[in-house]
Chain A
Amino acid sequence: MRDGGPDVEGGLGIAGPRELGDVRRFSHEAMATSFEVYAVHPDERYAAQAAQAAFELTDRLERELSRFVPNSDITRVNHLVAGEGARVGPSTMECLVIARHLFDLTGGAFDPSIGTGLASLELDADDFMVRATIDGVQIDLGAIGKGYAVDLMAELLEEWGLQHALVHGGFSSVLALEPPPGRDGWPLTLSDPGAPSRVLARLSVCQTALGASGVRKGDHIVDPRTGEPARGRKAAWVALPRPARAGAEASAEGPRMAAAAVTDALTTAMMLLSIEEIAALCERSPGLEAWVLPESVGGPPGEADLIYFGGRL
């Protein structure tokens, strides 16, 4: 419920909130970041109640998914020794199943266990059991949990009838639903994390998840495949259309197609994968788009060009 202001953070922002006159905005702190709901609805009180219900959902997910909460599902999983198992809630299981899928898809470039052995956890989705086959697997869902929360918040808002909405967690994980009436999409910007005023791309999106990952000057991220710091990337963005079957519950066939969770996880991988690997991944994943900002070599800082992957151009 704050007033508008510069909305660029972590290289992904909403362009020109002042132009979005009828959009209501609600904020909530969770998962060590700020979650926000932008929604168009005639009834302010009703919209606030819907946003509050979405925020309470986020708090619940944090209690289940955070490794910093001493009695969360993930803490229980992180204390398993070989041969032990823990029963987890449906959300935790689904998030782990999606994480495992993306771990396989990216050859371990996305790894919520940071090299401690994600593949050694057995996920029994039928019985909601997580079993450890080795000691010491440490899960941190920080790179996927925010996106997963954003997916579930969006489903809840739709249930409340707030279709014209955008949800984000710390601007690194954004999910645009139907655009404000009269517009063709939610205006988003991609900007240089080292120089936020340098807008690299302007997008107008709806029914799409967008994720961002980036490093500020002097920072680095560790490649879980090698344990070495990764260099050469300043930022990466991933976009994925939301599946038509939006709101579809997870079923026996598999987890819900959680677009924001997937993009959240993939941005981390895109910071590490080679240009060829990213191109190949986008090639075989219909609808997947990616933007990568390489570290500028030589030339003046902040001048490297954005590389785009996907079918848009």
Chain B
Amino acid sequence: MAGEDEKGKGKARAAGGGPPKLDRRDLLMGLSTVPALGLFGYAWNKQRQYQQARAEAATAPPVAPADLQEINVALIGAGAQGQVLTEAMLRIPGLRFRAVCDIWTEYNQKRVVNTLKRFKHEVNGYEDYREMLDKEKAIDAVMIATPDFWHAQHTIDCLKAGKHVYCEKEMSNTLEGARSMVLAARDTGKLLQIGHQRRSNPRYIHCYEKLLTEAKLLGRIVTVYGQWNRGVTPDLGAPDRYVIPETRLTQYGFKDMHQFRNWRWYKGKGGGPIVDLGSHQIDIYSWFLGANPSHVMASGGQLYYDPKTHEWYDTVMVVYDYDTPLGPAKAYYQTQTTNGSQGYFENFMGDQGTLLISESEVNNAGSLYRDPNAPAWDEWIQKGYVSAPQLQEVKEKSDTGAIADVRESVAPDRHTVPVALRDPYHQPHLQNFFDTVRGKAKLNCPPEVAYETAVAVLKVNEAIEAGFRLSFKAEDFKI
């Protein structure tokens, strides 16, 4: 067992040959240089299974095998997010695109239709989703990536037309909208998955199921902080030859092309950065803490951009209170749009350890730190739940056979999350949705779960306006 009698074994064992007995130094020296963790356990197998499934999916012939029921899909909303979903779906076997709907027929609709045709999907383009639902009877599932203020109507109409729906977050720009979506899903019995895609990310699932729930590596989480920072960018524009006629914009609820392109900043259309960005991560706060917030206080402002075209807050700082099963906790979150330093991440801090994770592995590879007084993690390292610690000092002094020189000031051991996501970020969440359509899985983000997050997130803008701490009641999160 690792951890016992740690000193001076390396050389003797190496010289003696025979079956290697694993000691802590081997773990430190060996495993940290073998990212595959080939010796033991869970993570390796998990990663391998995941990669095999991926490889099988990738090598599957373009025509779905007989036992794979082909799903006819349509997309409503072919903007940036619709294109991200399309790219990910093109890598999932067994899907047949039938239709693409977008009111920007001259540009985004055309672009996505052309891409799909290159992949041999014979799709029809529509401006009006109702016409699409009328004509495309074969559609089984609809992907909705329209502006937030359209989500409820698009989702409900599709559900009532008998389609399963994958709808982007934020579920809706209003709680009434979100609530009506939950009820429509219940009434129709159709599936509704909301696009909080981290819920299906194998790295996040590993952290939740293995590191926090089973191994309890963080002990009791008392504080959390996270951020999504972005640098200054100009407002979104459009090529002037492809501007949408005003009558069409008005018909679909936009006062002009600027609002159509920048709806996220407008009240009554989107919710500003706290909803666009914060929602993803505040969703993880509740998931990992096992509780919805009890209180929220927030400060925000229109500090930088033209308030006439940026009606929502460009800078938001929030503090939530939680009553978790293990005790009270507080969580901080910030989003600002004037400096992208350190990008986005979530940092969970327990009395026994810390987990720093980001959806973007480039941004942050996922780090774990053990409190020096916490029980050793050797068991979890051996099981492959966490990587062996990365200890630069040990490597440099490897020929001494010592773990470290006692006089050294040693940085805390940094462990990493040994599960990688190789697919586009949204692919596992989409796969989970289609697997559920086929009756082979359970939704990772059903509308009831997304509703809880919408309650927590939409309240931030309310708290900023109020200027004081607001409280949640348990029944606020229930429908």
Tell me if B174 counts as interface (CB < 8 A to partner A): no
> A68-B362, A128-B90 in contact; A84/B59 too (CB < 8 A)?
yes
Is A85 in the interface zone, CB < 8 Å from B?
Answer: yes
The answer to whether B420 touches A90 (Cβ under 8 A) is no
Query: A123 near B: Cβ within 8 Å?
Result: no
* CB–CB B362/A69 < 8 A: yes
Q: What does the 1/0 interface line of A144-185 toward B look like (CB < 8 Å)?
A: 000000000000000111000000000000000000000000
Nearest 9 A/B pairs, CB to CB: A49-B237, A160-B239, A70-B361, A48-B234, A85-B59, A84-B55, A86-B58, A87-B91, A52-B234
Which segment of B111-119, B222-230, B328-336, B374-382 sits at the interface?
B111-119
Which chain B positions have C-beta within 8 A of A80? Answer: 55
Task: Decide if A161 touches B58 in the complex (CB within 8 Å).
Answer: no
Whether the pair A70, B235 counts as a contact (CB closer than 8 A) is no
CA distance A86 to B425 in the complex (A): 16
A89 touches B421 (CB 8 A): no
Query: How far, in Å, is B48 (CB) from chain A's closest CB?
Result: 12
Q: Which of A245-261 contact B (CB under 8 A)?
A: 249
Q: What are 7 A-to-B residue pairs whose CB atoms are below 8 Å?
A: A46-B237, A75-B422, A79-B51, A89-B87, A90-B118, A159-B239, A249-B114
Look across to chain A and name the residue whose beta carbon is closest to the beta carbon of B58: A86
Of B51, B55, B241, B361, the most chain A CB neighbours within 10 A belong to B55
Q: Which residues of B contact A83 (CB under 8 A)?
A: 59
User: Is the pair A87, B58 in contact by a Cβ cutoff of 8 Å?
Assistant: yes
B361 touching A45 by the CB < 8 A rule? no
Given contacts A52-B234, A79-B51, A90-B118, contact A46 B59 (CB under 8 A): no
Does A3 interact with chain B (Cβ within 8 Å)? no
Distance between B155 CB and nearest chain A CB, rounded to angstroms: 27
Query: Which of B119, B236, B422 contacts A71 (CB under 8 A)?
Result: B422
Q: A69-B362, A71-B420 are in contact. List 15 more A-B contacts (CB 8 A).
A: A45-B234, A46-B240, A49-B236, A50-B237, A70-B422, A71-B423, A75-B422, A80-B55, A83-B59, A85-B59, A86-B58, A87-B91, A90-B115, A159-B239, A161-B239
Is B467 an interface residue when CB atoms closer than 8 A count as contact? no
A271 CA to B49 CA, complexed, in Å:
44
Alpha-carbon distance A159/B107, docked complex (angstroms): 10
Q: What residues on B are CB-neighbors of A52 within 8 Å? A: 233-234, 236-237
The contact of A161 among B51, B62, B90, B241, by CB within 8 Å, is: B241
Question: Cβ of A215 < 8 Å from any Cβ of B?
Answer: no
Residues of chain B with a CB closer than 8 A to A71's CB: 361, 420-425
Give the size category of A's interface with B: 20 to 34
B-chain residues with CB within 8 Å of residue A84 when the two chains form the complex: 55, 58-59
Give A313 to B113 CA distance when docked, in angstroms.
47
Does A231 belong to the interface (CB within 8 Å)? no
How many residues on the B side are at the interface (Cβ–Cβ under 8 A)?
A: 29
Output the nearest chain A residue to B87 by Cβ-Cβ distance.
Answer: A89
Report how far A52 CA is from B262 CA in the complex, Å.
14
B-facing mask of A67-97, CB < 8 A → 1, else 0? 0111100011001100111110110000000
Q: Does A199 contact B (CB under 8 A)?
A: no
The answer to whether B239 touches A87 (Cβ under 8 A) is no
Whether B362 lies near A53 (C-beta < 8 A) is: no
Bound-state Cα–Cα, A131 to B59, Å: 8
Does A127 interact with chain B (Cβ within 8 Å)?
Answer: yes
Contact with A along B70-101 (1 / 0, CB 8 A): 00000000000000000100110000000000
Residues of A contacting B233 in the complex (Cβ-Cβ under 8 angstroms): 52
Q: Which residues of B contact A90 (CB under 8 A)?
A: 115, 118
Tell me the complex Cα distance, A27–B56, Å: 42
- Which chain B residue has the least Cβ–Cβ distance from A84? B55
Residues of B within 8 A of A131 (CB): 59
Q: Name the residue on A nearest B55 (C-beta).
A: A84
Q: Which residues of A contact B235 (CB under 8 A)?
A: 45, 49
For the complex, give the distance between the alpha carbons of A124 and B395 in Å.
Answer: 44
Interface pair B90/A49, CB less than 8 Å apart = no
CB distance from B229 to the nearest CB of A (A): 15
Q: Known interface pairs A70-B420, A75-B422. Does A161 touch B240 (Cβ–Cβ under 8 Å)? A: yes
Point out which of A48, A87, A129 has the most chain B C-beta atoms below 10 A from its C-beta. A87
Cα distance A255–B114 in the bound complex, in angstroms:
15
Minimum distance in angstroms from A239 CB to a CB of chain B: 29
Q: How far apart are the CA atoms of A79 and B54 in the complex, in Å?
A: 11
Per-position 1/0 for B342-376, Cβ under 8 A of A: 00000000000000000001100000000000000
Q: Within 8 Å CB of B59, what residues of A?
A: 83-85, 131
Q: How far is the CB of B113 from chain A (nearest CB, A)?
A: 13
Give Cα A50–Cα B239 distance, bound, in whole angstroms. 8
Q: In the complex, A175→B93 CA distance in Å?
A: 38
Interface centre among A70, A71, A79, A84, by most chain B C-beta atoms within 10 angstroms, is A71
Residues of A close to B424: CB separation below 8 A:
71
Residues of the A chain whose Cβ atoms lie less than 8 Å from the Cβ of B423: 71, 76
Chain A residues with CB below 8 A from B421, complex form = 70-71
Query: When the two chains form their complex, are residues A53 and B241 in contact, meaning their CB atoms are under 8 A apart?
Result: no
Q: Which of B62, B118, B236, B240 has the most CB of A within 10 A?
A: B118
Contacts of A46 in B (CB 8 A): 237, 240
Scoring B62, B233, B234, B235 by chain A CB atoms within 10 A of each residue's CB, the highest score goes to B234
Please report the C-alpha to C-alpha distance between residue A85 and residue B119 in the assembled complex, in whole angstroms. Answer: 16
- Is the pair A127, B62 in contact by a Cβ cutoff of 8 Å? yes
CA gap between A80 and B54 in the complex, in Å: 11
Which residues on the B side are within 8 Å of A50 (C-beta)? 237, 239
- State in angstroms the CA–CA spacing of A159 and B425 once bound together: 29
The B-contacting residues of A in range 15-68, CB under 8 angstroms, are 45-46, 48-50, 52-53, 68
A162 to chain B: closest CB distance in Å? 9
Give the docked Cα–Cα distance between A80 and B239 (Å): 40
The smallest beta-carbon distance between B154 and chain A, in angstroms, is 25
Q: Give the shortest distance, in Å, between B201 (CB) and chain A (any CB).
A: 10
